[in-house]
């Protein structure tokens, strides 16, 4: 880890307008929760809106999209605008660069997703669910960040590839092919949140050990892959 890289990355990330993209989603999440809780219709129970808000919106949309925006930016923006040369022409181990970037992506994503989800869970009246969501989201955010950070160094269009993973793999393929869920970070996060939260509002599909092992696999593979790629990072662009 390198404190200078961490500080510069956080400033670059939080100082841009792009970060405002992260605001609407938590607001919608908390708004929907308030709407559900305040509903006076006796036939509307938390089991009607809970899965929708926590699972379908929180873990399935807000978490991966936030992680994608943040994870593809921490290093990707520098690659896009060319300032990456300042970073790679320093005598730093490449792992130090990647780990520092990963830390920032993870902290920002967790802050922007776990916090509103915990608030929503507390509004819904469940402290344990809040804890479960925070832990599940934090681990999911770590795996997603590692994946999208790696994509930003390896792929030409990291955001497009990331969206394909979220939309096609995690949403479409998982519902048709059973084995696909093992490689879905959304399922890992859901499983861990469910195991701790212990509520019918979210339902998991994997075993906890599988989820934990797969999160570590994503984190290690993403970090190692990104580091190796950065080690032989060739500057492209105008060749004159």
Q: Based on the shown chain and the rule CB under 8 A, indicate whether residue 10 belongs to the binding site for another protein.
A: no
Among 2, 55, 73, 191, binds another protein (CB under 8 A): 2
Residue 92 or residue 159: which is nearer to another protein going by CB?
92
212 contributes a contact to another protein by CB under 8 A: no
Which residues, numbered 93-112, are part of the site for another protein (CB under 8 A)?
93-94
Q: Shortest CA distance to 68 belongs to which of 183, 175, 186?
A: 186
CA 107 to chain centre: 10
Closest CB to another protein among 97 and 133? 97
Number of residues that bind another protein (CB under 8 A): 29
* 181 lines the binding site for another protein (CB under 8 A): no
HSE (side-chain half, CA atoms, 13 Å) at 62: 30
- Which member of 34, 44, 164, 235 binds another protein (CB under 8 A)? 235
Q: What is the C-alpha to C-alpha distance for residues 98 and 127, in angstroms, rounded to an integer? A: 35
1 binds another protein (CB under 8 A): no
Q: Does 209 participate in binding another protein (rule CB under 8 A)?
A: no
Helix axes 185-197, 63-71, angle to 10 degrees: 130
Spatial CA neighbour of 141 closest among 193, 197, 67, 210: 67
Q: Is 88 in the site for another protein (CB under 8 A)?
A: yes
Apex 26 CA angle, 57 and 64, nearest 5: 50
Per the structure block, which two tokens stand in for 17? 């307008």
Lookup: tokens for 112: 């922007």
How near is the Cβ of 19 to another protein at its closest, in Å? 13
Does 81 engage in binding with another protein (CB under 8 A)?
yes
C-beta neighbour count of 200 within 10 angstroms? 11
Ramachandran angles phi, psi of 121, nearest 5°: -65, -40
* Among positions 47, 83, 175, 207, the unique one binding another protein when judged by CB under 8 A: 83
Q: Which residues bind another protein (CB under 8 A)?
A: 2, 4-5, 8, 11-12, 15, 81-83, 85-94, 231-235, 237-240
């Amino acid at each position: 880890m390198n404190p200078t890289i961490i500080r510069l990355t956080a400033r670059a990330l939080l100082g841009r307008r792009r970060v405002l993209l992260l605001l609407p989603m938590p607001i919608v999440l908390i708004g929907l929760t308030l709407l559900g809780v305040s509903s006076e219709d006796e036939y509307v129970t938390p089991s009607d809106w809970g899965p929708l808000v926590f699972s379908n919106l929180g873990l399935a949309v807000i978490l991966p999209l936030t992680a994608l925006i943040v994870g593809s930016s921490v290093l990707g923006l520098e690659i896009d605008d060319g300032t990456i040369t300042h970073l790679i022409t320093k005598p730093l181990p490449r792992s130090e660069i990647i780990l520092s970037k990963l830390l920032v992506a993870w902290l920002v994503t967790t802050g922007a997703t776990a916090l509103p989800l915990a608030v929503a869970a507390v509004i819904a009246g469940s402290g344990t669910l809040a804890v479960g969501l925070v832990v599940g989201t934090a681990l999911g955010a770590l795996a997603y960040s590692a994946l999208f950070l790696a994509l930003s160094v390896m792929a030409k269009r990291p955001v497009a590839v990331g969206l394909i993973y979220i939309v096609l793999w995690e949403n479409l393929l998982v519902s048709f092919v059973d084995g696909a869920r093992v490689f879905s970070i959304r399922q890992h996060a859901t499983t861990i949140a469910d195991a701790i939260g212990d509520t019918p509002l979210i339902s998991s599909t994997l075993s906890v050990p599988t989820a934990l092992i797969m999160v570590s696999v994503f984190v290690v593979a993403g970090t190692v892959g990104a580091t190796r790629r950065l080690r032989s990072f060739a500057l492209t662009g105008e060749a004159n």
